[in-house]
A and B are shown apart, each in its own frame.
Chain A
Amino acid sequence: MNIDKLARVSTVISLNNKNADNLCKKFKKEIIKSNLEPLYNWFDLRKDKYYKIGWAYLYNHYDVEDVFQNTIMKVYENINQLREERFFETWVTSIFINECKRILRNRQKFSVTDDLNKTEIQDSRNSYIELKEGLDMLDDIHREVLVLKYMSGYSQEEISQILDIPIGTVKSRIYRGLKHLRSNMEEVE
């Protein structure tokens, strides 16, 4: 990260309102015609971003796949309820995150061993082992802001909308999260 070459970028926070508006209208129009193609394409452009978020919660490819599917279904079903269309992306992202959390909640009801830093969990289709290292050792609230910011590239303002928390909280969680992560790094090594 080269701090010297600063991009004095003005925070274009408001997500390019006009575009978001048109985007939403287009989606709605197509969805009424039962055509989800624009929505799939929209997701495909962002699949890296969302995959990383999913992975940071779930560590399992098939569960992340499920989250993609569920999120698309939910967007499809609820798009008419979206009041402020300029917040389309942050709305979708918060749905995505809620779906991740839902799967996570159900898993935690069936934890088998409490072997120190490992939790072994299984659901009917997949097994995986969560190695408690680095990012995963963080508290949920810290990990989620770090993933959104440094892996998916959202701005602090966008994160504050996605998670529905004040921007000051976002900033301090990022700060705390990074500090904790740094100290975890020492432990692992």
Chain B
Amino acid sequence: MLCKDVEDKIIDYIDGILEKEDYLIVKNHIENCAGCKNNLEELTQAIDYIGEINKNINPPCNLMEIVRKNVEIKRKLTKKPRFKVGYIVLVSILTALLITGVFANESIKTYFEVWKDKGLEESQSIDQLILDGYGENLDLICEDKNIRVKIESVVADDINTVFLIEVEDLNGEKKYAPILGDKTTFANGNFNYYLPGKDVFKVDKARVQGSFLIHTPEKNKTRTVLAFNSVASEQEEIELTINALEAISEKDTTLPHAIVGEYYYDKNFENIVEGSWSFNVPIKPSQSITFDIDEEMDLDGHKITFNKLIVSPTMTTLTYKFNKRQNKEYIVDYLNNINIEADGKLYEMKSYGRSSTRANGFGPSEAMIPFDTMYFQIPKKIKIIVEGYSITVKDQHVLEIDVDKPFPQDFDYLGSKIRVTNVQGDENLIRVSMDNLGEKYFERLLFHILINGKEYIETQYAVKPFSSDGSHNKQVSSYDILLNNTTNAFDDYPKNGYGVSAGTVNYLAYENNKKAVDELKLKDTLDDKIKSVIIKIEGYEEQRNSTGSISLKLNKYRQ
């Protein structure tokens, strides 16, 4: 076999899926050919590298909870399922309508009513800000395609530039609203652009950072609050341009396709009106007040540095940073709830746990969190409270099961005895059962199982909680894992009478349902073809509920 042929087959060779004949020929060639041997080494090194990266990327445990909640709410809000609902920004006059937060208690008012009220609050806030001198009534008008767009007013500070815009269909028929894409609603001028932990960048184009649709009774008018980046100097003239409007229905409570940056723009779509509505707007931003805090909070022995508190008429921003790897034994993944207490009032993070983080996790985690404004009642003292954080402890151990010996087989992991009670099945479906006998118990052990050297996909796994009294103790004492060789789920896995939550099956119910196990066609014993079963434990996850707080006298830090 020539080297070229080996090259063609080498990926399959590494995968272990070559036919016996080819496999032997390739193997033979490689043993005698330095070039191909080297090639193989390089390829496997690259594959191992990917394996390394792979370990660091894990979804948070509550991912599906959040996804599920958001999808359910979207479905309720829209008659015909739509793709995205607008996310609202972090300005006190634009309430974060971020769905999971405010509307968790859906009971009292309907969503529509709450939205109407909020809208009223929003426009009153803008009016109030204008009265107080932080904004201006502009009433700039531009007409095109028989639609009149009016910039009613603007409130600007050095964090946001906020407009209240009215759109009126002069034919008296439809409600039109601006489409918030980059190319359809934007502003030209000198703007600021913030990233956490970095100096401010100057850019010459701003796009919508957030939006809020206000209810209007008229069937041909809409009113929208739009927030853009702040302008870069004390006095700027910017050009606000809207190139496309979309007709929305009476029932729409958010702007269509309102995700910032989303390129929604199908020219053939019949509800869109293209045109040109352009305004030159003078902006005089008010100054925000920056407190250069640079203080460390101790959160369970971890150092979290709070950098700045920026208070502006439109919102409050808190920036912080921490080293993910400050503790050699684990990685701090996320900080959970962060709140500010001041003058008896609790300021909560506006967006549901959202903050900016840096990718890849090799550097420090930095973030910027938004809160309601404190500008009009700047407290003398504040207390920043962090409620909990989550970590991943990496501690790799390989448990190699001896397929020729009987079960149970015991292993040690971090001082705990892991007893593998049984492995049964064949190369299509395998079940691995193991118990953690203590002393230490884990919330979630992260492991991979390799059968004959190949990683098998977890189809279902059952966990038995450590305490059966239903307390919130999340530790697990037993695992029962079903694996199969394809990426397809095993459809017949018993579900009747089980608490199926987040993909785990309640252990007790599973164990009792022996008949169901038979239906899975799971072999009772371990098939001869299985030569190696390896449980590769990578580490474990843990939620920590400790609270950390730091009280600050703001005056000290005022710039």
A positions within 8 Å CB-CB of B: 1-3, 5-9, 11-12, 15-16, 19-20, 22-23, 26, 36, 40-49, 51-52, 55-56, 59-62, 64-66, 68-70, 72-74, 76-77, 89, 102-103, 105-107, 109-110, 112-113, 120, 122-131, 133-135, 146, 150-156, 158, 171, 174-175, 178-179, 181-182, 185
Contact = CB atoms under 8 A, between A and B. Distances in A.
A49 to B, nearest CB: 8
Contact of A45 (B193, B203, B261, B459): B459
7 contacts: A6-B16, A43-B67, A106-B259, A123-B261, A124-B87, A181-B50, A182-B46
B407 to A, nearest CB: 21
B391 to A, nearest CB: 16
Contacts of A46: 487, 489
B195 A3 contact: no
Contacts of A16: 486, 488
A122 B16 contact: no
B64 interface: yes
Given A5-B532, A126-B356, A36 B201 contact: no
Nearest to B68: A40
B45 A182 contact: yes
A151 B48 CA distance: 11
Interface of A is mostly: helix
A153 B358 contact: no
A45 B83 CA distance: 23
B59 A1 contact: no
Contacts of A15: 486-488
Contacts of A112: 193, 201, 203
Interface string B453-477: 1110111100000000000000000
A153 B457 contact: yes
Nearest to A150: B50
Contact of B503 (A22, A44, A130, A135): A44
Contacts of B54: 52, 150-151
B428 interface: yes
Given A11-B17, A16-B486, A109-B183, 14 more contacts: A3-B14, A7-B451, A15-B487, A36-B71, A48-B58, A51-B58, A62-B354, A74-B83, A124-B210, A127-B356, A129-B358, A153-B455, A171-B12, A181-B46
Contacts of A45: 458-460, 489, 503
B182 interface: yes
A70 B262 CA distance: 13
Contacts of A60: 357, 359
A51 to B, nearest CB: 4
A1 B356 contact: no
A106 B182 contact: yes
A128 to B, nearest CB: 5
Contacts of B441: none
A8 B16 contact: yes
Contacts of A158: 487
Given A124-B209, A131-B362, A178-B43, A47 B500 contact: no
A150 B47 contact: yes
B89 interface: yes
A154 B487 contact: yes
Contacts of B64: 40, 43-44, 47, 68
Nearest to B366: A127
Given A112-B203, A131-B362, A106 B263 contact: yes
Which 10 pairs between the two chains have the least Cβ-Cβ distance?
A: A59-B359, A51-B59, A7-B452, A127-B356, A44-B503, A124-B260, A5-B453, A178-B46, A106-B261, A182-B46
B165 to A, nearest CB: 17
Contact of B71 (A3, A73, A130): A73
Contacts of B75: 36, 73, 76
B29 to A, nearest CB: 14
Contacts of B74: 69, 73
B50 A69 contact: no
A82 to B, nearest CB: 15
A47 B59 contact: yes
Nearest to B503: A44
B447 interface: no
A44 B505 CA distance: 12
B488 A20 contact: yes
- With most chain B CB atoms within 10 A of its CB, the pick from A66, A122, A174 is A122
A46 B98 CA distance: 26
Contact of B358 (A2, A40, A128, A179): A128
Contact of B195 (A65, A102, A109, A122): A122
B128 interface: no
Interface string B205-230: 00111100000000000000000000
Contacts of B313: none
A123 B356 CA distance: 10
A62 B8 CA distance: 40
Nearest to B74: A73
Contacts of B490: 19
Contacts of A65: 63, 66-67, 70
A150 B51 CA distance: 7
A15 B484 CA distance: 11
- With most chain A CB atoms within 10 A of its CB, the pick from B20, B198, B359 is B359
Contacts of A9: 16-17, 427, 454, 485
A64 B209 CA distance: 19
B24 to A, nearest CB: 11
Contact of B354 (A20, A102, A125): A125
A48 B486 contact: no
A7 B326 CA distance: 41
Contacts of B262: 102-103, 106
B491 A126 contact: no
B503 A41 contact: yes
Contact of A127 (B8, B72, B368): B368
